[in-house]
Amino acid sequence: MTAAPTDSQRPRVAVVTRAARGIGRAVARRLVERGYAVVVTDLDGDAVRRTADEIGAAGWLAQDVREESSHARAVDEAARHGRLAVWVNNAGVGDDGTLTGVTSESVRRLVDVNLLGLLWGMRAAFGAFGPRGGDIVNIASASALGPVPGLAVYAATKAAVVSVTTSASVEAPRGVRVHALCPDGVDTDMVAAMRPDGPAKAIVHSSGRLLEVDEVAEAAVALIGSRRVVRTLPTWRSPLIRAGSLLPSQARGGFRAFELYGRRVMRRR
């Protein structure tokens, strides 16, 4: 009779949410290359199934992260393939607009997906990590670090992500590490869908270029196993954004300059 594999002998499993495309797909592909049995999830079941086939993922799941029970199903799918070692909360939406300019529907979607969905995922991962522990990687945003006109609600949800990451990293049991990655603007469908006449899209472009999804994926995967809790990408952008938090009443002129420069960058693109 063959003995059951010990916990250390079981394959390491990673769950990546909203992985059908963009950052999530790039993260999942890198984890597959690193030897993880990867479970990819997405609201679009057909798309995530195709992604799983194309990148060699171990499993896939159609998931609406707003539903707490969907994360339990992701845990069950992960358990079919080995020991849960990594959970990447990548699912998010980016409706842009001022606090009073976004619709009530958008406010609810931003909070439910970006924050509540992430909280459900973190709680599920905490409950599923075994004695060997694991890593939670939350994809936040540089907008979490200071004021970003035109992204008030989105930035608020991402600031909450950074906050819960830092608190949970202290609460976590030995062997469990919690990280937040705060990338600047990334060349994704989310940014492409922003209103071209709104301030948010221009400010996102004001860094000079948009990050590529592979750059973000590389940074996200690099956090696994590290002691780093919060990382901004690129690093130089963080002090500029944080400066707006120190003197918000005087930041209007600076952000107007960022917006004008970002529009020049957009025209060049």
pLDDT digits (tens, 9 = 90+) for 18-52: 999 999 999 999 999 999 999 999 999 999 999 99
Q: How many domains does the chain have?
A: 1
Is 200 among the domain residues? no
Lowest mean pLDDT across 150-159, 220-229, 259-268 = 259-268
Burial class, 249, CB count within 10 angstroms (exposed 0-12 / middle 13-18 / buried 19+): exposed
- Supply the range of the domain harboring residue 85: 11-194+209-241
**How big is the CA angle at 126 (ends 135 and 143), to the nearest 5 degrees?**
60
Mean pLDDT across the chain: 89
Judged against a pLDDT cut of 60, whether residue 214 lies above it is answered with yes
Identified catalytic residue from 36, 129, 154, 255 = 154
Q: How confident is the model at residue 226 (pLDDT cuts 50, 70, 90)?
A: very high
Residue 235's pLDDT is: 80
Is 60 among the domain residues? yes
Is 247 among the domain residues? no
Q: How confident is the model at residue 173 (pLDDT cuts 50, 70, 90)?
A: very high
Is 148 among the domain residues? yes
Q: Give the alpha-carbon dihedral of 90, 91, 94, 100, to 10 degrees.
A: -120
Looking at residues 78-91, what average pLDDT do you find? 98
Is 36 among the domain residues? yes
Is 154 a residue of the active site? Answer: yes
**DSSP run (H or E) holding 42:** strand 37-42
Is 153 among the domain residues? yes
Is 266 among the domain residues? no
Residue 1's pLDDT is: 47
Q: How confident is the model at residue 149 (pLDDT cuts 50, 70, 90)?
A: confident
Cβ count within 10 A of residue 248: 11
Domain containing 59 — which CATH number? 3.40.50.720
Is 130 among the domain residues? yes
